[in-house]
Every structure is written in C-alpha cells, then in structure tokens.
Amino acid sequence: AERLGVFVRGWKAYFRLAQTPSVRQALDEWMRHRLRAIQLKQWKRGRTIFRELTARGANLNVARQVAGNSRRWWRNS
C-alpha cells in the first residue's frame, strides 16, 4: 500500500502540471478499476466474493450478481 501511495502521489504531481485534468481523472479511474479487479481475483471463489462484498456493505443483489460472475474480474470491478 505504501509503494502504491508513492506512485499515485508521483502521477498526481506529474499530471497536475498539465492543462488536461481529464487525463489525470482517466488515470485515477483506471487505477481504481484495476485495484478492484485485483481484489476480486484474490478472493477467487464466488462464495468468498459474496461474503466479502456484503461484509463491506454492498447491496445483496449486486453482491449476488458479482459473485455469480466470479471469473470476470475486470467486468465486475
């Protein structure tokens, strides 16, 4: 987590100089998407995904839907 924080701060500082905030926003969205996909992949099984999502306060219907497609990490994240 600390290493990721260093990279994120570096990217934010780099893109802050640019006149295109949309680039920074797109990069931020992609990084969040990637982290969610990695987390789903680490949970591996649909049962685990459902349990973890509901423990984190996700809607039951959404948790069921994501757990049902447990091997589609990028799509579900």
pTM above 0.75, yes or no: no
Token pair in block for residue 52: 């973890």
Q: Is the Cβ–Cβ distance between 75 and 36 less than 8 Å? A: no
Give, for all 77 residues of the chain, the pLDDT tens digit: 678 788 777 777 777 777 677 877 888 899 889 999 999 999 999 999 999 999 999 999 999 999 999 888 888 88
